[in-house]
Chain A
Amino acid sequence: SYVLTQPPSVSVAPGETATITCAENNIGNKNVHWYQQKPGQAPVLVVYDDSDRPSGIPERFSGSKSGNTATLTITRAEAGDEADYYCQVWDNSSDHLVVFGGGTKLTV
């Protein structure tokens, strides 16, 4: 089965850069999508297809992928960025089809 591994928590000082990783051996063959979920709210798409940003998402949010790891980078972190972040892929080679990472709690 396809398992996406994220660190449970990441801390960053205000104004600094946060990096959240999502690892899997075959992730290079998949497009990775990222969601932000603030407490008590629904997830919001912040990056799709590895590095594209939906309209309305600040340029401070960016995605990249190298080797077995995808990364969500948040520059100039703000208190309002404090949330859970989830990566997700589509895996049509398995029964799971849609796979989410376990989530990372970002503390600013």
Chain B
Amino acid sequence: QVQLQESGPGLVKSSQTLSLTCSVSGGSISSVSSYWSWIRQPAGKGLEWIGRVYTSGGTNYKASLKSRVSISLDASKNTFSLKLSSVTAADTAVYYCARGIADQSFWFDPWGQGTLVTVSS
């Protein structure tokens, strides 16, 4: 079955760019109806969707993050990536990658294990 694994620096300096990669195994990132997504969760808080990329490269982002976010896909490596610029302490969170399934609606299954990113001053 499809499995996802996040990777990237666990510590990012304030004002710099956070970069994470999600490796997909057990299936093709070019799968129809799959939207590859990033979701984050600050410690002790709820889930926040960041955005998604489709196999065509098309993207959608949460409106409040749109000016700072870029999600891209590399089909040759079966990976997709997140870049979040101008980070602050408020961006400290566990970052999850997930497969989004678009049918009548849109949901996430499965999720990666998550990776903690801390923004330091």
A33–B107 contact, CB under 8 A? yes
B105–A30 CB distance below 8 A: yes
Judge whether A43 and B106 touch: CB under 8 Å. no
Q: Does B19 contact A (CB under 8 A)?
A: no
Say if the beta carbon of A89 comes within 8 Å of chain B. yes
Interface residue? A79 (CB, 8 A): no
Which A residue sits closest to B102, measured CB to CB? A90
Q: Are B114 and A89 in contact (CB under 8 A)?
A: no
Q: Report, as a range, how many residues of chain B touch the other chain.
A: 20 to 34
Interface size class of A (residues with CB under 8 A): 20 to 34
Provide a sorted-by-A list of 17 A–B residue pairs whose CB atoms are within 8 angstroms.
Answer: A31-B104, A35-B47, A42-B111, A42-B113, A42-B114, A43-B108, A44-B111, A48-B107, A48-B109, A49-B107, A86-B46, A88-B107, A88-B108, A90-B107, A95-B62, A97-B62, A103-B46
B114 surroundings in chain A (CB, below 8 A): 42
A54 sits at the interface (CB 8 A): yes
CA distance A89 to B104 in the complex (A): 11
Tell me the A residues contacting B by CB distance below 8 Å.
30-31, 33, 35, 41-45, 48-49, 54, 86, 88-90, 95-103
Provide the bound-state CA to CA distance between A86 and B107, in Å. Answer: 12
CB contact between A54 and one of B47, B49, B104, B109 (< 8 Å): that residue: B109
CB distance from A95 to the nearest CB of B (A): 3
Contacts of A100 in B (CB 8 A): 46-49
For B63, what are the chain A residues with a Cβ–Cβ distance below 8 Å? 95-96
With a CB–CB cut-off of 8 A, which chain B residues contact A48? 101, 105, 107, 109
- Report the minimal beta-carbon distance from B3 to chain A, rounded to whole angstroms: 11
